[in-house]
Amino acid sequence: MSSVPFELAWLIPLLPLGAALLIALFGRWLAERGGWLAVAAGGLSLSLAVPIAWNGLQLREPFTSSFGWFAIGQLQLRLGIYLDQLTALLLIVVSLVSFLVLIYSIAYMHREGPRLRRYYAEMSLFLGSMLGLVLADNYLMLYLFWELVGLCSYLLIGFWYERPAAAAAAIKAFLVTRLGDLFFLVGLLLFLIDFKTLSFAELFSLQVSPQRPWLLGLGTLFFFAGAMGKSAQFPLHLWLPDAMEGPTTVSALIHAATMVNAGVYLVARTMPLLIRAPVDLLVIALLGGFTALFAATLATVNTDMKRVLAYSTISQLGYMFLGLGAGGFAQALTTQEGAGYAAGLLHLLNHAFFKALLFLGAGAVMHAMSDSTDLRRMGALWPKLKLTGTAMLIGALANAGIPPMSGFWSKDEILAAAFSGGHPALLTAWLLGFATVFLTSFYMFRLWFLAFAGRPRWPEGARPHEAPPLMAWPLVILSLFALSSGFLSSAGLRRYISLGEPHLMPARELLAQTFANPWTILSSGLALAGLAIAYLLYHRGLDLARYRTALGGSVYRLLLERYYLDRAAITLARRVTVGFARLLDRFDQAVVDGLINGIGRASVGLGQRLRRTVTGSINDYASWILAGVALFLLIYVIWR
């Protein structure tokens, strides 16, 4: 594999971007309106990305290649690629999942007809931008692609723009993520002003200016705020559940496996700077742990299949941030390896596979149930959809973190890293994450049992049927990854992705140690308990009504209303923003307009007076000139 030179990494994002352009221009005449071209570009990118990433994992120093883009004064801005282990990991995740999703799209989106051109052009643009984002060698370029993936997300959520809900969801996603992006931009400017560079290589080798050490912490905190928007962390999580209005393939690719990971990637990329600001890392870990629990509670009551998965995504992203924060903090305080860093990133890898699997499975279920996502209208699909059911069962087991599935390994390492983090904040975050284990398992199996078990509650005339082969194959491949990627990555890939000197152990020892840890046993027990309760409630039909208490009822209402946060956001927008806008309007009318009109009126008045001097008579003008010269002479003589 060593024959593929790293310079070819330039082609990885350029191929899908080129495909996007071609599809946008000539999609009308292409097979499947450009679908196969998008698949081909994605496949070529994948076949380049795999060997390059494989070699990249073994690099000692990051590979960089760049050229000058533009210069502002002393400031040189460059376009380039920065390839290290982190980039390699993301390259594999992004290119592999997108390739599978694009193949799946051919079958899933087939009915869309002429609109497919727009779909494949936007998907290819997204893929190219996402690959560019992980390959970027400086923050400005990263920001550029960051905005591009945000744009693609907006366009694809609103793919069925004639539906008001989809159009509103697209706008909501755009506005909420933009709020985060704004913080990212402020952080970027702070860095630019103080460090005069945005290049990763230069920033990571930089010594902090001793006059302003707080600036690093503040700038990176702003970066994290940007990551919160992209990765849907509380309180900027509002957009992700609504983003499910887009096609399911879009949810699988953008809102589960790739774009939402951009925030995690940004924090991981900034880690060399973040470990100089340990307080930021505690904030990241705590907010991640909180979001994990918070989103998991919301997933337990939702009746929309895709939205349950969306809340699950938010929750799992919270785990990743918890891992990164804990790992970075350990590295910042001691010089030991921050194990949570690797665990968080491996969780990103595992999550991308099992969540893409779950979403594509949900797509297959929707395909079978004439596009319905309502869990209350499903049930007993197992005999009809054996393959989809198996795939989703594997995904659910992986997401729930039941050993030996993939989610278990990385989640367990994250919790272990937070537990041994040595700070009360990390311990709090661990507790939040630990409680989430139970809820995760509960809501995942609630979803599975509601869809595939129990009695059929199908709408009139529903005829569930298994997915066509083009949709089935990606499910099978992703199932294999969801089964195996956890242990393989923890035992194998782990050695390449580490913060500080990795603490390695052979596979057998890893197994022995993992299952000797009482907390691991307990968390697995919790996960199994969640499974059991979901089984009792949604398969055996245990009636909860007898146990319903006033408190339980109000908690249920609170969860159904999503903690009233969406309403609060709307109220905030109505009252505060509109009120503020009114205030500004009044200021604009009175002060700004008043100033301009006043200047105009004064000029007119002055002109009215001055016009009397303009008689049109040359002799008068000559007298003015002479009088003026005489006056100046007089002044000169007197004040000489």
Partner 1 sequence: MTTFPLAAYLGLSAVLFVLGAYGLLISRNGIKILMCIEILLNSANLNLVAFAAYHRDALGYVMAMFSIGLAVAEAAVGLSILIALFRLKRRIDVDWLRSLKG
| CB 607, min distance to partner 1, A | 8
Which residue, among 217, 280, 286, has the nearest Cα to 425 in the 3D structure?
A: 286
Which one among 555, 599, 615, 632 touches partner 1, defined by CB under 8 A? 615
Residue 617 makes contact with partner 1 by CB under 8 A:
yes
Which residue, among 508, 96, 500, has the nearest Cα to 328 in the 3D structure?
A: 500
Burial of 523 (0-12, 13-18, 19+ CB in 10 A): buried
Residue 603 makes contact with partner 1 by CB under 8 A:
no
> Contact at 8 Å (CB) between 223 and 198?
no
Residue 604 makes contact with partner 1 by CB under 8 A:
no
> Contact at 8 Å (CB) between 146 and 178?
no
| CB 625, min distance to partner 1, A | 9
Pick between residue 492 and residue 607 the one whose CB is nearest to partner 1: 607
| CB 623, min distance to partner 1, A | 6
Residue 609 makes contact with partner 1 by CB under 8 A:
no
| DSSP structure string for 555-613 | HHHHHHTGGGHHHHHHHIIIIIIHHHHHHHHHHIIIIIHHHHHHHHHHHHHHHHHHGGG
Which one among 73, 164, 469, 616 touches partner 1, defined by CB under 8 A? 616
Stretch that binds partner 1, among 127-135, 299-307, 591-599, 619-627 (CB under 8 A): 619-627
| CB 190, min distance to partner 1, A | 55
Residue 299 identity: A
Residue 255 identity: H
DSSP state of 384: T
Stretch that binds partner 1, among 317-325, 402-410, 596-604, 614-622 (CB under 8 A): 614-622
Pick between residue 592 and residue 602 the one whose CB is nearest to partner 1: 602
Residue 636 makes contact with partner 1 by CB under 8 A:
no
CA angle 420, 348, 59 (to 5 degrees): 90
Which one among 114, 611, 638, 639 touches partner 1, defined by CB under 8 A? 611
Pick between residue 551 and residue 610 the one whose CB is nearest to partner 1: 610
Residue 595 makes contact with partner 1 by CB under 8 A:
no
Pick between residue 593 and residue 620 the one whose CB is nearest to partner 1: 620
Which one among 480, 536, 626, 634 touches partner 1, defined by CB under 8 A? 626
Which residue, among 376, 374, 316, 368, has the nearest Cα to 347 in the 3D structure?
A: 316
> Contact at 8 Å (CB) between 458 and 378?
yes
Residue 619 makes contact with partner 1 by CB under 8 A:
yes
C-alpha 81/C-alpha 67 separation (Å) is 10
Strand partners, 304: 374
Which one among 545, 610, 637, 638 touches partner 1, defined by CB under 8 A? 610
| CB 614, min distance to partner 1, A | 3
Residue 1 makes contact with partner 1 by CB under 8 A:
no
Task: Give the per-residue contact string, 505-544, with partner 1 (x = CB under 8 A; - = no).
Answer: ----------------------------------------
Residue 545 makes contact with partner 1 by CB under 8 A:
no
Pick between residue 516 and residue 618 the one whose CB is nearest to partner 1: 618
Interface with partner 1: number of residues (CB under 8 A)? 13
| DSSP structure string for 452-515 | HSSS--PPTT----PPPHHHHHHHHHHHHHHHHHHHHHHHTGGGTS-SSS-----HHHHHHHHH
| CB 634, min distance to partner 1, A | 16
Stretch that binds partner 1, among 23-31, 342-350, 561-569, 610-618 (CB under 8 A): 610-618
Pick between residue 3 and residue 613 the one whose CB is nearest to partner 1: 613
| DSSP structure string for 247-302 | -HHHHHIIIIISTTHHHHHHHHHTHHHHTT-HHHHHHHHHHHHHHHHHHHHHHTT-
| CB 596, min distance to partner 1, A | 25
Residue 618 makes contact with partner 1 by CB under 8 A:
yes
Which residue, among 44, 19, 47, has the nearest Cα to 33 in the 3D structure?
A: 19
| CB 620, min distance to partner 1, A | 9
Pick between residue 207 and residue 617 the one whose CB is nearest to partner 1: 617
Which one among 3, 508, 613, 637 touches partner 1, defined by CB under 8 A? 613
Q: Which two tokens stand for residue 188?
A: 């970027």
| CB 613, min distance to partner 1, A | 8
Burial of 637 (0-12, 13-18, 19+ CB in 10 A): exposed
Tell me the Ramachandran region of residue 364: left when phi exceeds 0, alpha when psi lies from -120 to 50, beta otherwise.
Answer: alpha
Instruction: List contacts with partner 1 (CB under 8 A).
Output: 610-619, 622-623, 626
